[in-house]
């Protein structure tokens, strides 16, 4: 027998607290942004600010710190905002460039050059402090 559950919202018993996920996680931070002379935050969660530390180099500061610097980050990049070159590129982070309060992100071409990108996305999973 097939069941269907239709709801408009789900809340904890008190009606205001977030629902606890059992054996699951939800993204604790995400960001869609443009690297350029003026950074543009198109959509984000748990991001307090973006820092431009050079061409293709971004520091992402979290609003709420993570419990450890070893959270999971999934990143991506797309079209270059300055040159609009069709050169394949990667969004890259490393464990040595992150803390519980920030993540350093850079866009890197196949030839290891850095370039500003018009389309960047970051998704973070981990426990908040």
The model's pLDDT over 88-106, given as tens digits with 9 standing for 90+, comes to 567 777 667 789 999 998 8
The whole-angstrom separation of Cα 119 and Cα 31 is 11
Helix (H) or strand (E) holding 54: strand 47-54
CA distances from 10 to 24, 43, 106, 125 (A): 16, 23, 38, 22
Sign of CA dihedral 20, 26, 29, 30: negative
Three-state secondary-structure class, residue 5: coil
The model's pLDDT over 3-51, given as tens digits with 9 standing for 90+, comes to 998 888 888 889 888 777 777 778 999 999 988 777 889 999 999 999 9
Helix (H) or strand (E) holding 50: strand 47-54
Query: DSSP string of 81-100?
Result: SSS-----EEEE--GGGB-S
pTM (two decimals): 0.76
Predicted pLDDT of residue 81: 43
């Amino acid at each position: 027998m097939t069941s269907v559950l239709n709801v408009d919202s789900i809340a904890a018993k008190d009606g205001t607290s977030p629902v606890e996920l059992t054996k699951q996680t939800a993204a604790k931070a995400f960001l869609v942004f443009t690297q350029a002379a003026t950074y543009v935050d198109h959509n984000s969660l748990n991001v307090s600010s973006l820092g431009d530390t050079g061409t293709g180099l971004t520091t992402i500061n979290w609003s709420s710190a993570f419990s450890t610097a070893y959270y999971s980050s999934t990143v991506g990049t797309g079209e270059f905002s300055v040159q609009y070159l069709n050169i394949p590129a990667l969004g890259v982070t490393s464990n040595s460039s992150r803390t519980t309060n920030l993540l350093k992100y850079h866009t890197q071409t196949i030839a290891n050059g850095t370039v500003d990108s018009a389309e960047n996305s970051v998704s973070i999973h981990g426990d908040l402090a």
